[in-house]
Amino acid sequence: MSCKEADHANLPQPTVRYRVTRLRAQLRARARPQDVAILERFFKTGKGEYGEGDVFIGVRLPELRRLCRESRRTIAVSEISQLLRSRVHEERLLALLLLVDAFDRGGVTEQREIYQLYLANTEFINNWDLVDSSAHYIVGAWLENRSRAPLRRLARSSSVWERRIAIIATLHFIRRGEFEDTLFVANCLLNDPHDLIHKAVGWMLREIGNRNRTALRRFLKERYRRMPRTMLRYAIERLPEKERLAYLKGAIS
């Protein structure tokens, strides 16, 4: 080791707190305060709304993705978890983008750690964009060659966000031509009271229909009259117009 290398080795290395603090500062440098009110309305942060009390600083998704690319190799999973537990929405979303990237690049050990971290912190994955940007990349991907029992537990959760995680996670399987788990979870959520679940289930059913209309029609045949209207509209969106109208009129037998 040279003198220069020895001197460098003796220097204090950046602490976890320093790295997280620096990342937060970089995030705030990209914030647009004029966008805060827009984001608060879009993500329903008002009293009694599903995002009540969420805090935004005004960073849009493209900037979050850019910061993720710039910082992904300089921050560890243990550090990302601090961001995931933040009260600031954009910090939580950045944490999830970083976790998705780390999962994709990681080996089995790191993937297991990320999957377990994810499910241990679902209380912070508490808006639809947070779920939709991560559930299929982490939960679905981890369960690809494993028991799907965790999806059933999530689908029966009292948390709307865990229920949304359950159905969105199955997008990973849909993209591989596997529909059984999506249809099972969709059936579990058929009578769910929340509009965000109606939209998510309808979206996943539409994704199945994009690949296999027979599978979609088979699922709808015995259920479409009982489905929430929003769920049905999302599910049949890509079907021929005449067929869509027939479903909406209850005329499919």
Q: What is the pLDDT of residue 17?
A: 64
Closest CA to 98 of 125, 77, 118, 124: 77
Domain boundaries, the chain: 10-123, 143-253
Q: How confident is the model at residue 8 (pLDDT cuts 50, 70, 90)?
A: very low
Q: Is the pLDDT at 134 greater than 90, yes or no?
A: yes
Question: Does the pLDDT value for residue 11 go beyond 80?
Answer: no
What is the tens place of the pLDDT at every residue in 62-74?
999 999 999 988 8
Q: What percent of the chain has pLDDT over 70?
A: 93
Q: Which CATH architecture has domain 143-253?
A: Alpha Horseshoe (1.25)
pLDDT the model gives residue 13: 44
pLDDT at 50: 96
Q: Are 134 and 99 within 8 A, CB to CB? A: yes
Name the least confident of 75-79, 94-98, 209-213, 236-240. Answer: 75-79
Report the half-sphere exposure of 47 (CA within 13 A, side-chain side).
Answer: 0
